[in-house]
């Protein structure tokens, strides 16, 4: 996974620019040489603390931020909304979980005094479909989520029920 974001290449480049060997960097960071070699080869799965120690020696910082929802991927996964020709994905329960979590964080649930956006409505319908047609999946992935529960506090409109039927049909293909 780290190789996909280019971090090992950046570590190798920064290490070379500072004139450090792998052994020297590993010793300064309190990591094993094997860990550093595997990290640079894109084969490592280091803890955050190990990664932070290595980056600190290199004068770099680790920044974690909330991933953005990709609404085209969500549409491809069965969320009832128009797809704008985005990426083609192989639907899976894991991918749905990840992208629905990002969408929940982005939309922030339904506030009683706000108007319902199209994204909120599609997300709400998908959660309704999951809760009623795939209750085990819903309970495992969203049952404790305060954001998901914020959708429970409102009466479901006929439009959301219709969209939930579409979502349930789409989700049934792979859940």
Span 12-16, mean pLDDT?
Answer: 83
pLDDT at 30: 95
Burial 110-148 (b: 16+ CB within 10 A, else e): beeeeeeeebbbbbbbbbbbbbebbeebbeebbeebebb
Q: Give residue 115's pLDDT.
A: 45
Report field, pTM of the whole predicted structure over 0.75: no
Q: Residues 6 or more apart from 136 whose CB is under 8 A from it?
A: none
For residue range 135-170, list pLDDT tens digits in order: 999 999 999 998 888 888 778 889 999 999 999 999
Which of 60 and 7 is assigned the larger pLDDT? 60
Dump strand ranges (E) for 65-165: none
pLDDT of amino acid 106:
86
Q: Can you give the pLDDT at residue 41?
A: 87
Domains of the chain: 2-57 (1.10.260.40), 71-171 (no CATH)
- Rounded-to-integer distance, Cα 6 and Cα 12, Å: 10
Instruction: Give the lowest-confidence range in 1-5, 21-25, 119-123, 169-173.
Output: 1-5
Work out the angle at residue 169's Cα, subtended by the Cα atoms of residues 135 and 157, and round it to the nearest 5 degrees: 75
């Amino acid at each position: 996974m780290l190789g996909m974001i280019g971090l090992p290449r950046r570590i190798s480049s920064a290490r070379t620019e500072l004139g450090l060997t792998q052994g020297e960097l590993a010793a300064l960071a309190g990591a094993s040489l094997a860990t550093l070699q595997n990290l640079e080869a894109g084969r490592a799965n280091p803890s955050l603390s190990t990664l932070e120690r290595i980056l600190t020696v290199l004068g770099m910082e680790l920044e974690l931020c909330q991933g953005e929802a990709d609404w085209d991927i969500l549409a491809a996964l069965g969320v009832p909304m128009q797809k704008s020709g985005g990426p083609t994905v192989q639907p899976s329960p894991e991918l749905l979980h990840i992208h629905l979590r990002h969408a929940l964080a982005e939309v922030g649930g339904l506030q009683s005094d706000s108007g319902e956006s199209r994204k909120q409505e599609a997300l709400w319908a998908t959660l309704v479909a999951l809760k009623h047609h795939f209750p085990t999946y819903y309970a495992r992935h969203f049952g404790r989520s305060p954001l998901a529960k914020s959708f429970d506090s409102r009466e479901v409109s006929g439009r959301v029920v219709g969209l939930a039927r579409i979502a349930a049909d789409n989700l049934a293909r792979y859940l």
